[in-house]
Amino acid sequence: MLPDAAYAELIGRSREDALVAACASLLEWDQETYMPPGAVDARGDQLAFLAGQLHDRASAPRIGELLAVLEGSSLLADAESASAVNVREIRRGYERQSRIPRALAEDLARTTARAQQEWAGARADNDFARFRPWLARIVALKRDEAACVGFVDSPYDALLDDYEPGARAADVARLYDAIRAELVPLIDAIIGASRQPSVEVLHRGYAIDRQQAFARSMAEAVGFDFAQGRLDLSVHPFCTRIGPGDVRLTTRYREDDLEEGLFGVLHEVGHGLYEQGLDPAHDGTPMGEAVSLGVHESQSRFWENRIGRSRAFWGFATGHARVVFAPLLDDVSPDAFHFAINHVARTPIRVRADEVTYNLHTLIRFELEVALITGALDVADVPEAWNDGYRRHLGLTPATDRDGCLQDSHWSAGLIGYFPTYTLGDVYSAQLLDAAGRDLGDLDAQIAAGEFAPLLDWLRGHVHRQGQRYTPAALVEHATGSPPDHGPLIAGLRRKYTALYDL
């Protein structure tokens, strides 16, 4: 068989896999938004069936035959060409999928579909005992998955690699150590500062329909295309791409809290802009897909924090907010609003945490996940270990499991190994902002004028359109000139909060 023919067949299969995966994504989106509760078992069967189909397709011996024809051929001579990237990444996926038994893939899909509903019920009732057997089942399945995939140092590496190719638990632990050493004294200084913001402005009672209108207008302003996307409500905000021209965001709003809905939307918009910015010519192949969850979170946390919590952004957005919420914000200056949305507090809830304490929340989850997957921690002891983590790293004890170990949906969805990607994304986002600023001139002036197109174009060129051409670390280095480095994140936080709080 000639390499050209083998490549055409391989890409044809990859594009068909993407069609099956898109069907599963749509079913999952529906499950989180409009599906009636009575459908949960049938939906689990549907998703398990598709997971089995995808597993069979991704581990088919035919893929191994096609890869064998291609590897070593002149088609792959340029390692950064689309053909070389696609073959390299299809090989990576094939190696992983062929090691995971079909029954395990189906079991994970069926179990997590049901577990998400059990988690939601347990969280509502503050009843960890109800969720415990489901979590125990998921941890056992993920440990099986790690054992099947294989690892050198820690079974956690096998799970982390699925979200952040090349990342290792030991490196993540070192990153957290370094960040924690910088953040803890900064948090102490901010919380101890005599100058503090008034946060009353965030809690004046903002009608949900106006919050929706404002969030949508901000999403449009920064470049999210609603002709190719949607924004709906869900218990836990997320973003999913169903296929070309169909990127869906969800969020939730609270009348007594202006921050949660708005910054939730800006976060998901960052994910959505990445998905809308992928190269359509490479749709259904690795060159047309996001490279990792860390890079994905770099885009969401970029728009949520680096831009959304900047003074420049509120120079632009305050006027719009005043119109939408009139007359509630008539007495509020951009400076006051900017200070209010950058309040810092030790709180038990990750999704409401400020950007300075946030990475301590993900650190706590990372430690627990490693302990669960290595077997050092029993699921029955999770509530106690959770509270212990909050005492050690944030100096507080959650009042309930609802505000403690039941707050996140990730584990019920089988997403163990995901939390560190938020912190990696934060690190990358600060590097990207610095690099974009060097290339684009006065970024603050552009943002304050509502001119987001140059910045979005820069991200499209340096990140979105690159697909999986580079590993995450290499992508960051190509885009910014430096390998992943937490220095710019810490320096940026220090600069901003020193000025705001007169440190």
**Which range, of 34-42, 113-121, 206-214, 294-302, touches Zn ion by CB under 5 A?**
294-302
Please report how close the Cβ of residue 300 comes to Zn ion at its closest, in angstroms.
4
Binding-residue pattern over the window 316 to 355 for Zn ion, x denoting contact by CB under 5 A: ----------------------------------------
What value, to the nearest 5°, has the Cα angle with vertex 382 and ends 103 and 407?
85
Please report how close the Cβ of residue 297 comes to Zn ion at its closest, in angstroms.
5
Q: Which is nearer to Zn ion, 155 or 420 (CB)?
A: 420
Helix, strand or coil, per DSSP, at residue 189: helix
Candidates 268, 275, 297, 304; catalytic one? 268
**Which range, of 39-47, 193-201, 297-305, 323-331, touches Zn ion by CB under 5 A?**
297-305
State phi, psi for 185 to the nearest 5 degrees: -65, -35
Please report how close the Cβ of residue 270 comes to Zn ion at its closest, in angstroms.
8
User: How many C-beta neighbours within 10 Å does residue 367 have?
Assistant: 21
Q: Which is nearer to Zn ion, 275 or 401 (CB)?
A: 275
**Which range, of 47-55, 166-174, 299-307, 440-448, touches Zn ion by CB under 5 A?**
299-307
The yes-or-no answer on residue 268 being catalytic is: yes
Would you list the DSSP string of 392-442? Answer: HHHS---SSSTTTTTS-STGGGT-TT-THHHHHHHHHHHHHHHHHHHHHS-
Q: Which is nearer to Zn ion, 251 or 300 (CB)?
A: 300
Q: Does 251 bind Zn ion (CB under 5 A)?
A: no
Of residues 202 through 241, those in contact with Zn ion by CB under 5 A are none
Cβ 349 vs Cβ 407: under 8 Å: yes
Q: Which is nearer to Zn ion, 340 or 427 (CB)?
A: 427
- Angstrom distance (rounded) from CA 439 to CA 87: 33
Cβ 364 vs Cβ 370: under 8 Å: no
Beta-carbon contacts of 223 under 8 Å, excluding residues fewer than 6 positions away, are 273, 452, 453, 456
Q: Which is nearer to Zn ion, 300 or 431 (CB)?
A: 300
Q: Which of 323, 442, 356 is nearest to 184 (CA)?
A: 356
- Angstrom distance (rounded) from CA 422 to CA 294: 6
Please report how close the Cβ of residue 276 comes to Zn ion at its closest, in angstroms.
15
Q: Which is nearer to Zn ion, 303 or 316 (CB)?
A: 303
Residue of 14, 250, 300, 357 that binds Zn ion (CB under 5 A): 300
Q: How many residues bind Zn ion (CB under 5 A)?
A: 1
Residue nearest to Zn ion (CB): 300
SS3 labels along 211-279:
HHHHHHHHHHHHCCCHHHEEEEECCCCCEEEEECCEEEEEECCECCEHHHHHHHHHHHHHHHHHHHHCC
Task: List, in sequence order, every residue forming a beta bridge with 257; answer none if it has no partner.
Answer: 254
Please report how close the Cβ of residue 60 comes to Zn ion at its closest, in angstroms.
32
Would you list the DSSP string of 23-65? Answer: HHHHHHHHHHHT--GGGHHHHHHHHHHHHHHHHHHHT-HHHHH
Please report how close the Cβ of residue 298 comes to Zn ion at its closest, in angstroms.
10
**Which range, of 19-27, 195-203, 300-308, 432-440, touches Zn ion by CB under 5 A?**
300-308
Q: For residue 376, with 0-12 CB atoms within 10 Å meaning exposed, 13-18 middle and 19 or more buried, which class applies?
A: exposed
Q: Which is nearer to Zn ion, 116 or 421 (CB)?
A: 421
Binding-residue pattern over the window 252 to 291 for Zn ion, x denoting contact by CB under 5 A: ----------------------------------------
Q: Would you name the residues annotated as active-site residues?
A: 268
Q: Which residues of this chain interact with Zn ion, rule CB under 5 A? A: 300
